[in-house]
């Protein structure tokens, strides 16, 4: 039984992910530098770390975090 999806597309999954703060649909990938420069009030502190993850941001409210860990709401 395979553990990983053979055709998983993280960018497609981000497009339908919900923001844990404002519940808007659709997150966008950002780089580590953009994540680090975000104000602390806009950084999501995930309950769990998922490896591998992407830095993502909600375009509606500005929340940044590591996805899929930021989907822990």
Locate all alpha helices (DSSP H) within the chain, ordered by sequence.
10-16, 32-37
What's the predicted TM-score (pTM) here? 0.82
Residue 57 · residue 28 · CB < 8 Å: yes
What is the reported pLDDT for 4? 63
Enter the tokens of residue 24. Answer: 């808007």
Model confidence at 73, pLDDT cuts 50, 70, 90, reads low
Model confidence at 70, pLDDT cuts 50, 70, 90, reads confident
Residue 44 makes CB contacts below 8 A (sequence gap 6+) with 20, 21, 63, 64, 65, 66, 70
Spell out the domain ranges in the chain.
29-73
pLDDT digits (tens, 9 = 90+) for 2-56: 566 677 788 898 999 999 999 999 999 999 999 999 999 999 988 777 777 899 9
Residue 43 pairs in a beta bridge with 64
Which is more confidently placed, 47 or 59? Answer: 59
């Amino acid at each position: 039984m395979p553990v990983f999806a053979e055709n998983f597309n993280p960018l497609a999954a981000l497009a339908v992910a919900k923001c844990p703060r404002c519940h808007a649909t659709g997150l966008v990938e950002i780089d580590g530098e953009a994540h680090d420069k975000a104000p602390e009030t806009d950084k999501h502190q995930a309950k769990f770390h998922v490896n591998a993850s992407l830095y993502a941001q909600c375009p509606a409210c500005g929340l940044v975090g590591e996805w899929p860990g930021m989907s822990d709401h």
